[in-house]
Each structure stands twice: as C-alpha cells, then as structure tokens.
Structure 1
Amino acid sequence: MTISRRDALTGTLAGGAIALGGGPAALAASAAPADWKRGLDNQRVADLGDGRFLNPLLSGDRPDPAILKDGADYYMTFSSFDSYPGITIWHSRDLINWQPRKAALTKNIGSVWAVSLEKHEGRYFLYIPVKAEPNSIFVSHADNIDGPWSDPIDLKLHDHIDPCHAVGEDGSRWLFLSGGDRIRLSDDGLSTVGAVEHVYDPWRYPDTWDVEGFSPEGPKIHRHGGWFYMLTAVGGTAGPPTGHMVIAARSRSIHGPWEQHPGNPLVRTTSLDERWWSRGHASLVEAPDKSWWAVYHGYENGLWTLGRQTLLDPVEWTADGWFRMTGGDLSQLLPKPRGGQALPHGMALSDDFHDLKLGAKWNFFRPAPDEARRARVADGALMLKGRGKAPVDSSPLLLIAGDPSYEFQCDIEIAPGGTAGLILFYDDKLYCGLGFDEARFVTHQYGMERGRPANSYGRRLTMKVTNTHHIIAYHLSGDGGRTWQRFDRGMEASGYHHNVRGGFLMLRPGLYAAGPGEARFRNFRFRAL
C-alpha cells in the first residue's frame, strides 16, 4: 500500500481511513529492521557493535530526556509520571549504551513531568515539575549522583511546567519555564528570587499545519561559542503525529534578546510514513569525540502504546554560529560517536527475585506512602501483600518494555481469599490482563473486570501473557510451564494509549495482588519477540 504525502498528512486514503493505531499501513511502517541488535531478554539494542547505531537510543517510555555531561560520564533521566520510585538515573560513557542506576525520588509528590538534571559547583540538582493539587515545581539536591537526594523542596511555581536550570554570563542562576518565561534562583538554587517574567516569544508555525496546539514548553539552555542557545518544543507533545517539533533561538546574554533560528523548525515529522512521530523536546550534548548530538523523544509509528522513546540525532554546527540536525527521520543506521567506554546496555526484565529492584526495574503505580512495605523478597520469591480488589486500586508493580512484541510469564501462588495476576497496564482506568482467585479467573479488559470462568488450578499456577503487536493471548500451566493451555479469551490493545486516555503514559507489563494475604511470585521471565 502506498500513501501519498498529501494523504499521509490529512490521514485519509482512497477507499477508507488510515488505521493509525495499528492498521496495515502502520504495521508495515513499524516492522523492525532486520539489523536491529538484540540484548538481554532479546530486547532490541541501539548499538550494532560495528560502529553504527539504530534508534531508539532507549526504547519504551523514556520521555522528556534530561541529559547531563559530567566529565567523562553522562547521566540521563526522564519523566516518570505516577511511577514510584521515580526519576531513575541512567549512566553512559559513550552516549549510546546506558545502564540504570538508582531512582532519585521515593516520596510520592504527584505526577512527575519533564525534569531538569544539572550540576553546579559540585552539587547535583533536580528541578521537578509535578501535576498535583496544586501543580508546582520542586527541587532536590545531592552531593553524589546516586544520592542520597534531599527531600523535594516546593518552589511554589504553580503555573508552569518543564523547568530548565541555566547559569548566566554573570553567574546568576535561573529557571527557564514553559511559555517563554523564567524566574531567578537564589545562589544556592533552592528558592526563587522575585517574580516570573516573560522573556521570549517562540517562533510560530504556519496555521495550515496539523498540530495539537502551540504549547511552548521544554526549554533547554546551552552555552556554546559565545552564545546562549534555547531549544523549545512547540506544537503539542502528542495528538497529530505531525505536531510536536523542535525550534531554537540564541542570544549573546542570558538576559536576551533572543534571535529566532532561520531554519525553524529544526525537527518535525512531516509524513505518517516516517518511523518516528511527534518528535521534540530536544537537548544538545557533546560526545566524547567532541561531536555534537541532540537527544529528544518521539512515538514509534503505530506504537503509541510504547510511549515516547528516546532518540539521538547528530548535530552539525554551521559557519554562521547556528546548528542543524542531520539524522533525517532517524529511520536509518547512523555512525556512533567515537571514544568513551561502552557499558553493558540496559537491564534484564526477567527477575529471579533474589533482591527487589524497586526504581531501577520495578515501579508502583501511584503508590500510597506505605506502598513499599507491601513488597519483600524471600527464598527467591516476591511476596506482595494484597491491596484493593483489582488493578484499579491495587497499585500494581510494573516494568517498562520497549519492544513491539514480547511475552512474560510467572509462577503465582495466592493466599486464601486473595487474587493475583499478570496485566498490561496503562493507568487505573485503562488496562487488560488476567487474574485468579481460588475458584475463578477474572479477565480485565478496557479497565473493567469482565468474565469470571471457573478456575481448575486452585491457588497455584503459571501464567503467560503474549503481546504480539497489540494482539494479547494468555496461556496457563499447572506444571511450571512444561505444558500450556491457552486461555479462552484474547484481546487487542492498540488503543491503550495517550491519544485515547491522556496522561502521556505507556502500556506496561506487570503484576498485581489484591484482597487479603500475600501473593507469591516466582521465576518472572520476559522475552522480546
């Protein structure tokens, strides 16, 4: 099937509409290239091992990347929203291979949006915008990247998101904010000085473009070659795939005036044929070989369910002191930056539960203050105390999986009267999966509890969930996975995403326990397909 540029931008095709959520056109466009490298649990890896890489840099829901170059080390973190422990710090030495370290935020202060990760005079800072009642921006600090991080301090900035810390030519400290605004920080960076002021009117796109809204946000300030450069996202972060984009401006002073980049927008999806949609929220970073790169996020074609994934785009500085991105639509192999030590990339999602990797691997959804007390490991098992009656109120434990297709399985034993199971979870109003009690199964679909067929396995079984490009199947075993029986209910989950539900999240595999007692989970096995 061939889609013209005009048809792609209007979302129509002779004879019918394009199925953006996973129809034939999207499925063909998002099929993985044959030369993707596979790593732990068969997960896709950007580094091909031959001097080239293929985006995504970090797969799965890694939105609003905040990156920090700290000598030979690079640190990066992302919006963690309602997942806690949150703001997991990732580490690299070559910009391509990344390892998770520790989560910087354990106290639930609300839904965490695009943070700013900085280092100033030997101390690390996180400026954390939070959607709560009311919205605000917090700051946390640490003397070591692995913490301990201070308790978040409320800066009481209620009308802005997406802070970016910047230091002026005169040593003054600032937070640049959404909407082209900024506010001064105290010398220690832990409080504000004065009032918010408007300092920049972002470049406007033609009104014929299909966007979600103007939404100037995600400012990133970089000082290079005698200029301050400001990168901003406009067009909305989701909605039409052609909306989100990167623009830039520059100034000789942190105090302005700001001059618009003559090449705006620097990054924008222009066709539904492209592999990466809604690209934006960019930062600049210098690689070990002194080359420059832009890191930003985007949705994979037809795979809104995976959330916004982290992308890496080569940058070229031009003779007039501007820069441009040179990676095109990022669907092709690109040469890696040279130098730096390649760390082992990623982490296994399979878990033998010899220890509890909260934050680095597992996260609770919207936890209560005492949520972590529910989980413990003992004798190679995760013991998870039940809460609520179903995934909607049980605060499930979830993973970030970044492949279009995968399967995961686990041995599960429930307490008398308890319920447990495996799920694919977007949020507490939109999830699917399968659970069981002593007498019956419970199917979860559209965020509701539906069929309840009889359970002949009792309180112990092995359950497997297979997600084949949004087609969901369940299998059960009473002998530890040696033989399987397919459960008589299948599902389709391509609509479990932000453009249906909102929230900017992803469909995450995980497990839950509800009702009385503790559920026992053993031998969690994950494999990308």
Structure 2
Amino acid sequence: MKNSLTRRRSLLLLGTTLATKACTTPASEAAVRSESPAPNRPDWGRGHENQRIADRKDGTFLNPIFSGDRPDPSIIRDCDTYYLTFSSFDAYPGLFIWQSTDLVNWQPVGPALTHPIGSVWAPDLIKHGDRFYIYIPARSKNRKSIYVIYANQIDGPWSKPVDLDLPDHIDPAHAIGEDGKRYLFLSNGDLVELSDDGLSTVGDVEHIYDPWRYPDDWDVECFCPEGPKILRKDNWFYMLTAVGGTAGPPTGHMVIAARARSVKGPWQHAPNNPQVRTTDRSESWWSRGHATLIEGPAGDWWMISHGYENGFWTLGRQCLLEPIRWREDGWFESLGGDLSTPFPKPLPSQHQPHGLPLSDDFSTSSLGPQWVFYDPSPVEHDRIDLDGDGLRMTAKGETPADTSPLCVIPGDRAYEVTARMELDPGSRAGLLLFYNSGLYCGLSYGPEGLVMHRYGQERSRPNDLDAGLTHLEIKVRNDNHVVTFFTRLPGERWKKFDVQMEVSGYHHNTAYDFLSLRPGLMAAGKGHVRFSQFRYKALS
C-alpha cells in the first residue's frame, strides 16, 4: 500500500497539485467484475424520488454512475475527495460541480459558471497550488474561444470568465510539463503554453501529436480528435483522446492512448488501441469516449467516461466508471467490457446519498440547484421571483422555442412530472419535454386555449376548459419514449389528453446540439405565471 507521500510524488493528474494536508489510503479492495444481478433484484439502486442510482447497496454498482445528460466528465482528486463537472452546453447556471469519496455516490456542490459565454463544451477542472481552475471551450453567436475561471475554494466564489483567445480549438486539458511550466493540450493534437498564473497563453499553438487512426472499414461519425486528458505517472505523460465522433453510429466514439516523456513528444501509440469502443450496436452503451484515468480511494485505478445508453439517445451522454489495470510494459487496459453487469464499488463498505431531488415546491428564497435555463439571456434570472409562495416567472416569447424554458435533467427511462400553475391574463403556461428550440413536445394553456406542442411545432386544440381559466395542473408521463399528457382543474380528477406521442428520435442525431430531452416549465405571452409545485417521480 502506498503511503500519502509516495502518492503525491507519483501522481499528477491533469495538472492537479494535491493539497498539503495529509491524505490517507484505505486498504486496497480489488475491483473485479461482479456476478450478474441476482434474480428478482432490481438492476439499479434507487435514490431520491425513486431515481435510479448506480449504488446497489450490496457492495456493487451498475453503470451509469450519473444517469441522465452528464457529458465530457472532468474529474480531479484533492486528498480523499473527488470533484467532478460536466459540459453544460446551453444550460445556465453551468458547470455544476459534484463531490464524492467513493467515485460512485456524488453530492452537489454548486454551479461554477453564472456568466453566459455561449454553449459550453468539454471543460477541464483542475487544482494547481491552492487554487481551482476550469478551462472552458465556449461558442456564442459572436465568439468562439477558450475561457478560464478560478476560485480559492471549490464552492466559490468563482471569477468571471477570462478569454484566452483560442478561437480555433476546443476541449482543453491542463498539464504541468517536465520543465515545470503550465500547458494546455487542445483538440487535434495541439499544445499551447500558459503563463504562470494560468490566465493567459505564452507563444503560439504547436502541433505535437498525430492520433492513432482506426481501420477505414469501421463505422464512425468522423475522425474528430478531441477531449485529450493527461496523466503523469512514473515519468510518463499518458494522453487519452476521443476519436470517431461524439454521436453518429453507436460504434463511432472511442478512447485511444499514447505516452511520451515530454509534453511535446514524441508520442508513442498504445499497442492495444482503442482502449474503449462499442463494437456492436447490441451492447448496453454506445459511443463511449472522453475518458480520464483516476486513482481510486483504495489505490486501484479507474477510467471515467461517457456514453449513450442503448436505445436512449434522448437521455444524453451519461457518466460511466470502469476499472483498469496497469500492465508490466507500462501501458494500461480496461477491465470494464461492455459495462452491462455490476462491479464492486471502490469502497464497498461506504453508503452515501447520491444526486439531488428534482421536485420543488418553490418555498425557498432562491432557485434550487436542479434547475437550469435553456439558452438564457444574461439577465434571465431577473425573470424569477421566489417569495415563499411559489415561483413567479415573467413571461417571455410566444412558443417554447423562444421562451428559455426552465428545465431539470432526468436520468430515468420512465418518469412522470407534474406542474401546478396560475396564469395572469394574457400569459401562457406549459409543461414541456424540451430538447432544443427546434425539437420539443408539450402541452400549454393560455388565451387561445390548449396548445399541443409536437415535433417543435404548435397546434391549437378545441378548448374544453373554462374561458378565463387561471389555475391548472399538467402532468407528463414519459414511459420509455411513449409520452402521455394529463390536465386537472382544482378539486377534479386527472383527464387524459387525447393525443400521445413517441419521442425516441428527440436527440442529437436528429437535431444536433449534443443535448438531452428534459422536462421544462414554460411562461410565454404577457404578464406572469406562478408555479406553486413541480413533482418528479421515476417509474420503475
């Protein structure tokens, strides 16, 4: 068992300098494949509101460790605590940070990015010295670049974004070179030096690596080298890169590896590339990529990545964890297989809560951490008023496409969401399943009566509700892509809407944007809508 001093000398992950306080390592608990789930035992554990979680409470876990849209994971270890964030794309507040001690169960810390800079792609969370940084590729209508924010504590306050003026690259990865200088690895095998404070670049971007190329007869989306992640171990720099395209065919995305003695190379391709790849569309997880190596709490090693669940592109790219082993030749290999069966937890004896509730009665003075706006304006939060008696939202736009709906991220194959709403004259309130401004479905009510939203289009319905209605509840059931709507007036029973929908095609391969299908609240037209209750319930 390595002591803490040895770990600090041997491990430098993504440019992270471990804190100076002593770090302890529990006795090693080897990670090997578990048996298949026992008969009559649910595959996943269950957490808040019956949401599925990876921890099965029997010492094992079943992927995903984060269900729902958690793409491009960026992870660091700071002593005995792990911190993790994901791409947030068009959702704000963005770059939500989570913490864990066992790599399986994660508790919320809070969002790091509150100043909109566009659509946020694969970030890199690091700690250098006593300061945390996140390097952020972002695209807006007027600007494409890489930014950085920083904080002295993981829970903030985080700085405003600093533009590094790197318009031609995405997916940065921070590292400390063999010369002690700070660098950013970039997409397409490029590298740029950073200043000592990490807040500006030094010199020009250099091309230092040509990624390993897969056979031409493989089904992929594109070559697209992206998502480099760097580990320094035993005087080697190990680079993990995603190639094959993020979506497209289920077999496209993959993880490759290379190593070098210097950040500038020369780089050697791993003899066992690709490290991870979906080889058949019958597998449980598709398009696996954007991987990072991390030392576990018991001294063993793990790979964290993302992938699409077979048949559930609508849930977005979900976060995956699998054990790896280091070989005698200094390379590593995954032990995860197709991730369809459980593994022993890195710390089997620990049982901790995971995730957070999605339901909200809006009784607090600030918006809950489960909520994010889609493509908000810089002053979107000015639309929100929480007075202890519900969420009062100022109306915006006319259809879901231009209302910046307020959304949560589901991780279940089947669930129900319910919203209770009170309308001002001239306003329109709705409950949606929202992918992006061109693809959504839902039901709303306003001055023109009921409107059905389908395929990103609007269709008015004959109004069998009372004219001047001000109070209404809407329920949406998404049961393995079959969507059913219900309405209820105060004191009455639920009434099923007469049109049902099938939404398995509401995803990136249909409408681009790398997003997921999310329940959302809509306030359009004029005036305000008050939401007094939102309920989420996973259906087993």
TM-score by length of 1: 0.92
Aligned-pair Cα RMSD in Å: 1.5
**Paired residue for 1:77?**
85
CA distance in 1, matches of 2:44, 2:351: 18
Q: 2:420 aligns with which of 411, 415, 431?
A: 411
Superimposed CA distance per residue, residues 449-495 of structure 1 (whole angstroms, 9 cap, x where no aligned partner): 11332041412111100001111101111135x62110112111111
**Paired residue for 1:236?**
245
**Is the 2:188–2:226 contact (alpha carbons within 8 Å) kept by the matching residues of 1?**
yes
Shift of 1:439: 5.0
CA distance in 1, matches of 2:86, 2:383: 26
CA distance in 2, matches of 1:74, 1:340: 18
Shift of 1:269: 0.2
Q: Which amino acid aligns with 1:71?
A: C
Q: Which amino acid aligns with 2:483?
A: I
Q: 2:125 aligns with which of 117, 124, 127?
A: 117
Q: Label 1:339 to 1:289 Cα distance change in 2 as closer, same or farther (>3 A).
A: farther
Q: Label 1:226 to 1:356 Cα distance change in 2 as closer, same or farther (>3 A).
A: farther
CA distance in 2, matches of 1:425, 1:365: 9
Q: Which amino acid aligns with 2:486?
A: H
1:389 aligns with 2:365: no
**Is the 1:431–1:444 contact (alpha carbons within 8 Å) kept by the matching residues of 2?**
yes
Shift of 1:44: 0.2
Superimposed CA distance per residue, residues 30-62 of structure 1 (whole angstroms, 9 cap, x where no aligned partner): xx9832111111100100111100000100000
Q: 1:467 aligns with which of 456, 472, 478?
A: 478
Q: Secondary structure at the match of 2:460?
A: coil
Q: Secondary structure at the match of 1:500?
A: helix
**Paired residue for 2:220?**
211
**Is the 2:74–2:85 contact (alpha carbons within 8 Å) kept by the matching residues of 1?**
yes
1:348 aligns with 2:357: yes
Moved more, 99-108 or 351-360: 351-360
Q: 1:365 aligns with which of 371, 374, 383?
A: 374
1:67-466 alignment to 2 at 5 Å? 67-132=75-140, 133-338=142-347, 342-355=351-364, 358=367, 360-457=369-466, 458-466=469-477
Q: Which amino acid aligns with 1:254?
A: V
Moved more, 109-118 or 517-526: 517-526
After TM superposition, where is structure 1 displaced by more than 4 Å over at least 4 residues in a row? 339-342, 356-359
**Paired residue for 1:518?**
528
CA distance in 2, matches of 1:447, 1:100: 32
Q: Which amino acid aligns with 1:79?
A: S
CA distance in 2, matches of 1:352, 1:239: 39
CA distance in 2, matches of 1:362, 1:279: 27
Moved more, 38-47 or 373-382: 373-382
CA distance in 1, matches of 2:351, 2:255: 29
CA distance in 2, matches of 1:254, 1:84: 34
Shift of 1:398: 0.3
CA distance in 2, matches of 1:100, 1:390: 32
Superimposed CA distance per residue, residues 232-287 of structure 1 (whole angstroms, 9 cap, x where no aligned partner): 00000100000100000011222311111000001000011101000011001111
Q: Label 1:275 to 1:357 Cα distance change in 2 as closer, same or farther (>3 A).
A: farther
**Paired residue for 1:13?**
none
**Is the 1:94–1:340 contact (alpha carbons within 8 Å) kept by the matching residues of 2?**
no
Q: 2:510 aligns with which of 493, 500, 505?
A: 500
**Paired residue for 1:483?**
493
Superimposed CA distance per residue, residues 108-163 of structure 1 (whole angstroms, 9 cap, x where no aligned partner): 11000000000001100010001223310001111011111111010110110000
Shift of 1:510: 1.1
Q: Which amino acid aligns with 1:478?
A: L
Q: Which amino acid aligns with 1:306?
A: L
**Paired residue for 2:15?**
none
Q: Secondary structure at the match of 1:450?
A: strand
CA distance in 2, matches of 1:358, 1:350: 12
- Structure 1: state its 5+ residue gaps: 1-31
CA distance in 2, matches of 1:500, 1:155: 33
Q: Which amino acid aligns with 2:78?
A: D
Superimposed CA distance per residue, residues 38-90 of structure 1 (whole angstroms, 9 cap, x where no aligned partner): 11111001001111000001000000000011111111000100000100001
- Structure 2: state its 5+ residue gaps: 1-39
**Is the 1:232–1:248 contact (alpha carbons within 8 Å) kept by the matching residues of 2?**
yes
Q: Label 1:299 to 1:293 Cα distance change in 2 as closer, same or farther (>3 A).
A: same
Q: Which amino acid aligns with 1:411?
A: R
CA distance in 2, matches of 1:356, 1:248: 48
**Is the 1:397–1:512 contact (alpha carbons within 8 Å) kept by the matching residues of 2?**
yes
Q: Secondary structure at the match of 2:318?
A: strand
**Paired residue for 2:19?**
none
Alignment: residue pair count: 497
Shift of 1:306: 0.4
Shift of 1:339: 7.1
CA distance in 2, matches of 1:379, 1:468: 33
Moved more, 518-527 or 111-120: 518-527
TM-score by length of 2: 0.90
Q: Which amino acid aligns with 2:194?
A: L
Q: Secondary structure at the match of 1:48?
A: coil
CA distance in 1, matches of 2:274, 2:448: 59
CA distance in 1, matches of 2:57, 2:338: 22
Shift of 1:378: 2.1
CA distance in 1, matches of 2:392, 2:218: 52
**Is the 2:231–2:293 contact (alpha carbons within 8 Å) kept by the matching residues of 1?**
yes
CA distance in 1, matches of 2:432, 2:373: 13
**Is the 1:288–1:339 contact (alpha carbons within 8 Å) kept by the matching residues of 2?**
no
